Chains A and B, each alone.
Chain A
Amino acid sequence: MDIVYTQPLKELLQVSTYFKEQIIVLVTNEKDEKVAKQNSFTPCYLVSDKTPESDIQKLSSKKKAVVGGSVKANELAVRLKADYLLQPSNEKQFFDLGLAQKLCNNNTVVVLMFEELLKANSFERHQYWKNYIELVRYCKMKNVKFVVASGTKDPLLLRPPKVRESLAVLLGLPQGKAKEYLEEELK
């Protein structure tokens, strides 16, 4: 399972079929959702704290992902019972045991968008890495699912599942669990 932003579908299809992996495409409107479904990708709505309440109510039966990175955004993911919480921490830590427990109850998957890490300079990268080691430790304690996703708009920045699994292991997740979370098929 990999999570990416909406991008040129032809190239994305080529790369994803090569890696033999289910791809979740983050969409913001119905048009993108239709296109994703037509190409046998799984669409997932991207919700932020700026999304109007009326739009959020319409998405109740659909898959939702919330971009975290602040206390407010992380709490929004808990309130909406989102399926995915993307980037809950960045250079600063916004993740704690209490949040992990709430995410566990909602069965939310915590996602590290790898492109964010890739874009960061070496100083920011060490802060990201430090925060994510702590985050994975909390996830392990509360049995929250943690996945490393490519999180990119460029098909050539997609990373193979084996590499993403290794990154999760490097962050402290047991290898068996890292593999299990990545191979989880969505219905």
Chain B
Amino acid sequence: MNIGAILTLASGQNESEASDSSGSKQFGWRSLGTIDVLGASLLQRTQRKLEHLGSLSPRVLTESNGPSQFLPSRSSRSTAFVEEWERAVAELVHGGADILILGRISAYTDIDYTELLQYHAASESLLTQAYAGKESLDVAVVSAKLLRSANGAGYRSTLSSAIPQQKRFCYSGYVNWLRNVQDLHTLMQDALYQRCGLQPVGREVSPGVWLGESVVLDPTVLMSYPVYIGARSRVGSGCRVASASSIERDCHIDCGTTVRDSLVLPQTYIGLGLELSRAVAGPKVLFHVDRNVEVNIRDARLIGRTSRSLPFLSSMASLITDRWSQ
């Protein structure tokens, strides 16, 4: 069976989903679905799951304005995104796909796509959507024969007509709706405490401590598990990483800083002697989870972006350390 997949993603400034009273679905103008959590983003993890299923490499469509739609309705305006979506569906249908998986990068779930496909096949449905309770998980399986009957009507029109007859796949596992930055922080901690299936990208060097490749840790660093430190990140002397924290790839935590109960996003520099607590920090931006406030940090000596030469510096640091230890 040939499986094709289309994933849609909202990125850039999104007025309809931008900050509301419970926080923003974006952080520093990035969609939460593209932000790394324990070494890979929701988008990357979904792509890998689908490829593991035997699907062709999923097409990723980005909607720059308004919420992304994984099933554009027949009444949707014909925007560049909708046209691109129609073209992507056409390519898959004409390319011989038997099944299409259409999804929107929004919530994190431990959904088993094999189970979903089996349900779709067993129910002999043309359209199956996954739900958690009454809420849609923004994942649908469509039989290509439904779309082949479109006959120039437009695929979104064909899909819209099939929605009333759709079958519902009821999912009862872990869901994190990723509606705001607090949800992202919660997902990180749920993963570290193994409350969901999200696996860190790296090696578990001791119980509850995962390290990515080429991490540079000063010998004086104190860590309290569970902790994740991403690839090529550097943690300086006298630092402390504690209470379910994640430092993503290519970061630099400078000397004497404490990271507690926090998520440090990729390529972030955290300055000397600072205290990061209950926060999500990115290059030049800091979000406090409990105060629900996002602060722009203008001084790169406090929180900034790591240098592009960091991988080279990390390699040199490792080389020097190895030479000294011989």
Are both chains from one complex?
Answer: no
